[in-house]
Amino acid sequence: MDAIGHELWLVLSVAGRVCAGLVFAAAGVQKAQHWKILPGVIANYRLLPRFAVAPASVLLPPVEILVGLLLLSAQMMPWAPLAAIALLALFAAAMAINLRRGRSFIDCGCGQSFLKQSLRWSLVARNAVLVLLLAPSLAAMPGPFALSGVAAGLAFFLLYLVLNTLSALPPVEARGHRFA
């Protein structure tokens, strides 16, 4: 790979880690803040036996926060992107299974309790995009955080927040507005 390609790959690696790290850290903090409802959200997926719901709801927020912080750390932990990808794939699979079962009415539990979102294929696709953002981290050689990579990661994260907020809004007709 030429020098420009290597630098671009490094920037993409940092951008993906920053964006996904912020997503995981924010989701973990929000789940921890709303720990009382998390067992119900997890149970609604109907994928775990009842005895596993409480431990999963206790472990999920700190695991997400830890993975987020490790992705954001300047020291590249090779397993951090793998852990993030595994979690994203697990969440996407849980959503896809429920969508295939016709259970789109349940809350995704994505961490933003003030923006409850019913399951949709676009949420599964969102997780796939986050996996793609992390892919360069698997092949990039560890190195210092490039400032341009951090800026790109922040931009991706802000775009993620905007799109997530817009997708959580009810349709215009559901808000009582009618257009002629």
pLDDT tens, 4-49? 777 777 888 888 999 999 999 999 999 999 889 999 999 999 999 9
pLDDT score at 29: 94
pLDDT score at 119: 92
Kindly report the pTM of this predicted structure. 0.83
CA distance 66 to 28: 9
Delimit the domains of the chain by residue range.
12-155
Strand segments, DSSP code E, in the chain are: none
On the 0-12 / 13-18 / 19+ scale of CB atoms within 10 A, 56 is middle
pLDDT score at 108: 85
Mean pLDDT of 114-127: 86
CA proximity to 123, closest of 136, 111, 137: 111
pLDDT score at 75: 72
CA atoms within 13 A on the CB side of 167: 19
pLDDT score at 151: 83
Tokens of 170: 């009810």
pLDDT score at 59: 97
Is the C-alpha dihedral spanning 110, 115, 118, 119 positive or negative?
Answer: negative
Helix (H) or strand (E) holding 51: helix 50-72
pLDDT tens string 72-105: 987 777 789 999 999 999 999 999 999 999 999 9
Of 3-7, 16-20, 61-65, 129-133, the poorest mean pLDDT is in: 3-7
pLDDT tens string 144-168: 557 778 888 888 888 888 887 777 7
Is the C-alpha dihedral spanning 143, 148, 152, 158 positive or negative?
Answer: positive
